Chain A
Amino acid sequence: MSDLSILSHVYKTNSDLLKKINDAVVVLKRARYKLPGAESLSPRQVLESQKLLSQFLDELLRDLSPSLSKEAEDFMIPSSLIERINEARKGELEYYLSDLKLASDHLVHDLVCLTPKDLALLDELATITDAETSSIFRKLWRK
């Protein structure tokens, strides 16, 4: 009956999503920039991270685009996160959507196609997801 029941559910969803995005971005950065530990990554790990992030960006595009119809999705991006991204990119949404599309296209091709701008965009999404997760955490923790 208290909002805590919903908060705890939404927190877990956001926190799981953050882990998925963050882990996949770490794999791609490590591989792309040949950072220490890159040698122990398998091609499959890299490919799976590309696939996961591309799927995430596609769903995000659908949720953010006023022209695209809403669908029941596989990723189930929390609506509060969509609203937060919408708010952050208000006024330049059209450009942002084309950046997302471009990054998603690069992800489905080859790792070498992935630009620093794409990785910065993915980092920014992880940061926004972290901000949403932390904001719910503060509400849960203060109870």
Chain B
Amino acid sequence: MEDFLRGLVFDLGKRCLTLQQLLQSKAFPPDVQDYVVNIRALLSSIYRDIQLLSEDPAFGTPQLLPNQLNEYKRLAQLMYLIESYPLPFITRYNEEDHQMFLLCKSLATQINYPLPVPVLSTFSREYYWSEVRFNLISVPVCESSFLLGLPDLCHELGHILFFHHERNFSYEFLEDLSEYIERGKREVDAGRRPPGYKPFYDHIYALWKGPWIKEFASDMIATYIVGSAYAWANMSLCSKMSPNIFSPEDETSHPADESRMRAIFAMLRVTGAQDAVEKIDQRWKRYIALTGNLEPPDYHLSYADPLLSSLANHVYQACIATGLRIFTGQKQSLDSINIPILLNEAWDAFLTSPESYSQWEADRVNRLRASLNR
């Protein structure tokens, strides 16, 4: 096995050098040049780790072989992820990607986004997604020709921001979550709930601490950035894609859509936009009634309002601490089109006169493109 692993390590080193050569041999557009420098630096550090592993004087000793295999796997996976995500983004960068990048760059300036602008691609087959570690966002092909779905770009920026500031966004909330879980378990100890509820509380603790906090916090950050426009975009997305708003298809990846809307409302309330909540909630309730979906048992124990309110408060404070500009602080300027304001105007126009919206949107998209390319 020692010889086999040694061969694999050498092979990985060669692959790493090949990727480095590929990045050295190509000329990249200005949007991604800094990004390419970062990826090259990452490849260099992987190559150093590969060398360290292969030159270890104890390479292949029975005591260390399992750990060396773990290290090889970690490095090999990282290499394949670089080949699967950043490389296609930068080697196939095109004009549509550039237009989305310009839009995101302008948005980032307007919201005072504290991190480097992500690299964008327009070849997503899964609606909007981000690769947070590599600072990448992918959007559907024609997205830059429309406005109503663009608030979801802020959700992906939220994922990246949360990834880099996870402790600031989550630490205090996790204390509130722990208290909630312990309170629930004490109810079981006091005989006010059946014993089976203890594993139930452990399970929802794991879900909140794992995927749910990331998704809720990203929704709340997007709401902080664009306000009501994000709530409407979420309702629109549910109308298109939600199989059941109370039951996520995979609860280990996303919380229920209904709870996400309450999370958005919680953030709108924290920002003082109570009127907006009432307005959106009227239509949202009618939408829920139309779906015919019903709450499963214990639904509100899993997605308790006090937890959503607590998270909204902590995310709001963390957004302020990172310097992110809130939607209520946005102002029109003569130099550029303010994107958070434009997205709210788009939803107002859509809700006021859906029939003429398409013409309105085409005009605003043209103006936005012209402004971004000035």
Contacts and interface: CB of A to CB of B under 8 A. Distances in A.
A80 B128 CA distance: 24
A25 B63 CA distance: 10
Contacts of B167: 76
A4 interface: yes
Contacts of A55: none
A89 interface: no
Interface residues of A, number: 46
Nearest to B203: A83
Given A12-B163, A66-B202, A123-B66, A6 B211 contact: yes
Nearest to B66: A123
22 contacts: A1-B156, A2-B124, A4-B131, A5-B218, A9-B159, A15-B74, A19-B74, A29-B63, A35-B63, A36-B57, A36-B61, A71-B178, A72-B172, A73-B174, A76-B167, A78-B210, A126-B66, A130-B70, A137-B80, A140-B81, A141-B84, A143-B126
A49 to B, nearest CB: 12
Interface string B195-230: 000100010011101110011001000000000000
Contacts of A141: 80-81, 84
A70 B77 contact: no
- Interface SS, B side: helix
List the 9 closest pairs (A to B, CB-CB), nearest first: A79-B206, A36-B57, A2-B129, A72-B174, A2-B126, A3-B253, A79-B210, A70-B178, A4-B129
B56 interface: yes
Contacts of B58: 30, 35-37
Interface string B40-58: 0000000000000000111
B84 A2 contact: no
Counting contact residues on chain B (CB < 8 A from A), the size range is 35 or more
Nearest to B61: A35
A8 interface: yes
A45 interface: no
Given A15-B74, A18-B70, A72-B178, A1 B129 contact: yes
Contact of A18 (B74, B124, B211): B74
Contact of B57 (A25, A37, A130): A37
B360 interface: no
Interface string B171-182: 110110110011
B67 A69 contact: no
Nearest to B241: A1
B129 A72 contact: no
B70 A80 contact: no
Interface in A65-88: 66, 69-73, 76, 78-80, 82-83
B351 interface: no
Contacts of A11: 81, 133
Interface in A106-133: 123, 126-127, 130, 133
B64 A35 contact: yes
Given A6-B211, A141-B84, A70 B132 contact: no
Contacts of B73: 130, 134
B10 interface: no
B3 interface: no
A79 B209 contact: yes
B129 A137 contact: no
Nearest to B249: A3
B75 to A, nearest CB: 10
Contacts of B156: 1, 5
Given A126-B70, A141-B84, A4 B163 contact: no
Contacts of A70: 177-178, 181-182, 205
Contacts of B172: 72
A123 B66 CA distance: 8
A33 B63 contact: yes
B254 interface: yes
Contact of B152 (A1, A37, A130): A1
A4 B126 contact: yes
